[in-house]
Amino acid sequence: MKLSVPHRQALPHSPSTSKSGQCDWALPTIASRHRRFASCQNPLRPQHAHGRLQHRQASIATQSPSTDARPGASPEQLVDELLERISNSDSGVGLHEEEEATVNKLINQLEAVGKQQEPSPLDNPLIFGNFGVAFSSTQQAPKQSGQPAGGGFRSKPGRLLFQTKELCQSIFEPNLATNKVAFALLGCIPGSIGLRGTFAPQGDKQDTVKVDFEPPRLSLPGGICLAVGPTSSVVLATTYLDKRVRLGRGGRGSSFVFTRGGPCESAGMKDIGLARTSVLGYTILLMLAATFCAVSFLLLSSGTLWSKVIAAPPALVGVAILFGLWLNI
């Protein structure tokens, strides 16, 4: 007997469904049914189903972001790419948002490696030394405001007034930590702001420390070295460590890349915070305060309203210098 097979019409370009709601080309396997179900839309409500699928995909992407910038790469290769991407970036502030995100993904990959490193960071002698702050980011730290390295000196207005020359952080045995921001005031007057503190381990993982800093000290030419703020403290975890880099994670989630050596080796990091204003420095500051106050007095004595208005700024500068001197006596 000759069997006749009825001709089956070609499948349309768009998926169709039967009364049971299943796609006509479904294969009898669980995996294929799952794929068919994911790609097949209910013709009665195509817009809603598609919208829900997009919303779910976006939700998954938000909840579980990819942390792999280079899957399968060795730690050495990851460090190579990391250093290449942050070179000439002004410690990260010169990167676009997408470039910064890629750098943070590389950091996340190295941090995963760091969790398996032995010995732990605080037991590893590589943690000591002079480091440059090659990169800092608050992209993964929603609670962090401002620049995590350098503070106001590294804000947009701060970088215009204080052009950054160096950003350094050093760790010395047994428990000394120092930070330094070297700058050129108005692009021509060299100076620096330094922090000196001691650290103590936090937690049980031997990777986190709390650093208690003395008041920051502003250093300017002429032997001027003034305390210009209150004491402070920070919490910092070392999340990856090798001979070239040290990765850090701040208490609020900000990320750091510290590179070993370079100009920070000769930045006098061990003496940060020890200098005090010399006699010459006090003389210079007193002369400056007197000059600003004299200018303000002359403007006030002219009698015009406009002169009285512009007399305020030099008077405030003179008083601020005298107040700073009083605090540092």
Q: Tokens in use for 306?
A: 């406009």
C-alpha pair distances (Å), 319 with each of 12, 83, 294: 84, 46, 12
Q: What is the DSSP letter of 219?
A: E
DSSP class of 289 = H
* The pLDDT of residue 42 is above 60: no
Residue 259 sits at the vertex; the CA angle it makes with 256 and 263, to the nearest 5 degrees, is 125
Q: What is the structure's pLDDT at 76?
A: 94
CB of 212 closer than 8 Å to CB of 197: yes
Mean pLDDT of 302-319: 87
Residues 294-298 have a mean pLDDT of 91
In this prediction, residue 139 carries a pLDDT of 85
pLDDT of the residue at 187: 81
In this predicted model, what pLDDT tens digit does every residue of 55-95 receive, in sequence order? 333 433 333 344 566 677 899 999 999 999 999 888 888 88
Alpha-helical segments (H) within 154-278: 156-161
Q: Mean pLDDT, to the nearest integer, of 226-253?
A: 93
Mean pLDDT of 29-41: 39
Residue 178: its pLDDT value, please?
A: 97
Tokens linked to 197: 């503190």
Q: For the ranges 27-41, 91-105, 301-315, which has the lowest average pLDDT?
A: 27-41
Mean pLDDT over 224-238 rounds to 93
- What's the pLDDT score for residue 191? 93
Instruction: Please give the model's pTM, rounded to 2 decimal places.
Output: 0.72
Q: 288 burial class (0-12, 13-18, 19+ CB within 10 angstroms)?
A: middle
In eight-state DSSP terms, residue 196 is: E
Residue 5 has pLDDT above 60, yes or no: no
Closest Cα to residue 32, out of 40, 21, 42?
40
pLDDT tier, 302 (very low <50, low <70, confident <90, very high otherwise) = confident
CA distance 307 to 86: 49
The 3-state DSSP class for residue 50 equals helix
Average pLDDT over residues 220-247: 94
Query: How far apart (Å, rounded) are the C-alpha atoms in residues 85 and 135?
Result: 10
